[in-house]
């Protein structure tokens, strides 16, 4: 089957000092426009209940440039994209209200909270030197080639932990590989001791990228708290904190991609639990007695568990596994997670055990690691699902 897919190609760029200053000024102006437009919308609604649309704000840009000439230093399409981002935030807010979720009204952006600009109609391909409107010629490290049949749609310049990147979202035709025989099916159980335990007995320990950097982060954050706000020292330490988080992010992403690729090399069919990770990392609800006094609700221990769950990156791993499997003509399938750890994979009896018990022992004599038992159950449920008549 042939269809079009979208992929983003990210490259490191090295702007000159004058260009960095120009980019930072543009970020500041984009943030100012976002906050001004947000205030304009909220004030109009609070005053007489009127709603200002994206088209109205976009049409007012030429007049705004006359009143505030410094906006002329930003490419017009970049300013339009800023208004489009605000409109998307509003649409997302109304969608959450309709669906009964947490509304999350758009917030004003503080200094340092705007780190990208987008050129919506940029069509040039990445080269060792790219020309960016209102910025000039910028050196780019072209570490991988863009496919010849890829059509560049936009260009986004981003800043991450003091590093600069150019992102080229592109459309390219994609021919799906014919579905293979789906040999060597595997069930995998995700965990916090072993990142996954597979039904063939293989397992990978959790790398704990955030936990390994916690001491360094604590030290930097203490120094940041003691530094005078908005001073040169404050921003220097803040840059170090961001750099530390950036390294954690890169190492986690590298681990997840490599782990998913290794799994797909040895199996054409992978089953995993359909976990609701967002629900798993929610804070516990406060408990009150009859007099209204708050009771212990184990929030501290739950906070540590939530941090470990977020550090593991299960949701991102599943996303990577799914898109890589589609590209390779392989298959992944989610199965219900109920009783996969409690049920004996040998006889089917329920053997209740707490999370601290790491060995599954059944009256039938079957003794095995609890995660391997869960992986075997996941494999069985998955195979039963495939073989069930539709």
Q: Residues 23, 15: contact at Cβ < 8 Å?
A: yes
Question: Residue 8: left (phi > 0), alpha (psi -120 to 50), or beta?
Answer: beta
Q: For residues 299 and 164, state if they share a domain.
A: no
- Give the per-residue pLDDT at 182: 66
> Kindly report the CA angle at 106 between 103 and 108, in degrees rounded to 5?
145
Res 364 pLDDT > 80:
yes
Q: State the pairing for strand pair 367-369/163-175.
A: unpaired
Report the candidate in 191, 56, 167 with the shortest Cα–Cα distance to residue 119. Answer: 167
Res 310 pLDDT > 80:
yes
Helix boundaries (H) for the chain: 17-48, 54-59, 61-67, 76-99, 209-212, 214-226, 232-266, 277-280, 299-312, 314-328, 370-387
| Residues 121-164: tens digit of each pLDDT | 999 999 999 999 999 999 999 999 998 889 999 999 999 988 99
Residue 121 domain flag:
yes
| Residues 269-300: tens digit of each pLDDT | 999 999 888 888 888 888 888 888 888 888 88
Place of tokens 């489009």: 84
Q: For residues 54 and 167, state if they share a domain.
A: yes
Q: Residues 346, 372: contact at Cβ < 8 Å?
A: no
Residue 127 domain flag:
yes
Residue 256 domain flag:
no
Report the candidate in 343, 324, 326 with the shortest Cα–Cα distance to residue 335. Answer: 343
Q: For residues 24 and 135, state if they share a domain.
A: yes
Residue 245 domain flag:
no
- Give the per-residue pLDDT at 389: 57
Show the tokens assigned to 381: 């449920």
Q: For residues 190 and 329, state if they share a domain.
A: yes
pTM: predicted TM-score of the whole model, two decimal places: 0.84
In the chain, the N- to C-terminal Cα span, in Å, equals 23
d(CA 167, CA 199): 39
d(CA 78, CA 62): 14
Q: Which residues contact 72 (CB under 8 A, 6 or more apart)?
A: 65
The proportion of the chain whose per-residue pLDDT surpasses 70, expressed as a percent, equals 97
- Domain membership of residue 9 as a residue range: 2-175
Q: For residues 138 and 192, state if they share a domain.
A: no
Q: For residues 164 and 73, state if they share a domain.
A: yes
Q: For residues 312 and 194, state if they share a domain.
A: yes
Residue 271 domain flag:
yes
Q: For residues 124 and 192, state if they share a domain.
A: no
Instruction: Go through 330-356 and write b for each residue having 16 or more CB atoms within 10 A of its CB, e for each that does not.
Output: bbbbebebeebbbbbbeeeeebeeeee
């Amino acid at each position: 089957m042939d269809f079009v897919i979208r992929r983003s190609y990210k490259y490191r760029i090295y702007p000159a000092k004058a260009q960095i200053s120009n980019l930072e000024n543009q970020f500041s102006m984009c943030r100012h426009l976002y906050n001004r437009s947000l205030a304009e919308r909220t004030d109009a609604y609070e005053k007489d209940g009127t709603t200002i649309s994206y088209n109205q704000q976009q049409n007012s840009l030429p007049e705004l440039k006359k009143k505030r000439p410094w906006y002329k230093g930003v490419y017009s399409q970049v300013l339009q994209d800023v208004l489009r981002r605000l409109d998307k935030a509003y649409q997302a807010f109304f969608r959450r209200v309709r669906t009964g979720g947490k509304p999350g009204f758009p917030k004003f952006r503080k200094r340092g909270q705007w780190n990208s600009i987008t050129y919506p109609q940029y069509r040039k391909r990445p080269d060792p030197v790219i020309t960016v409107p209102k910025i000039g010629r910028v050196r780019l490290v072209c570490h991988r080639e863009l496919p010849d049949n890829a059509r560049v749609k936009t260009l986004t310049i981003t800043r991450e932990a003091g590093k600069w990147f150019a992102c080229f979202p592109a459309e390219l035709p994609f021919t799906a590989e014919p579905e293979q025989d789906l040999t060597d099916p595997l069930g995998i159980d995700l965990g916090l001791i072993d990142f996954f335990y597979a039904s063939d007995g293989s397992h990978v320990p959790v790398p704990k990228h955030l936990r390994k950097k916690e001491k360094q982060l604590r030290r930097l954050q203490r120094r940041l708290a003691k530094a005078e706000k908005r001073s040169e020292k404050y921003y220097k330490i803040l840059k170090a904190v961001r750099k530390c988080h950036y390294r954690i992010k890169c190492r986690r992403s590298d681990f997840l991609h490599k782990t998913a690729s290794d799994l797909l090399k040895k199996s054409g069919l992978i089953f995993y639990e359909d976990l609701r990770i967002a629900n798993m990392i929610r804070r516990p609800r406060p408990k009150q007695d009859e007099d209204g006094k708050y009771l212990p609700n184990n929030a501290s221990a739950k906070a540590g568990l939530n941090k470990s769950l977020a550090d593991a990156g299960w949701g991102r791993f599943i996303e990577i596994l799914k898109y890589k499997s589609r590209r390779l003509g392989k298959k992944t399938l989610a199965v219900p997670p109920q009783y996969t750890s409690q049920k004996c994979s040998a006889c089917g009896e329920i053997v209740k055990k707490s999370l601290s018990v790491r060995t599954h022992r059944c009256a039938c004599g079957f003794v095995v690691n609890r995660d391997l038992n869960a992986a075997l159950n996941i494999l069985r449920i998955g195979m039963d699902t495939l073989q069930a008549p539709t």
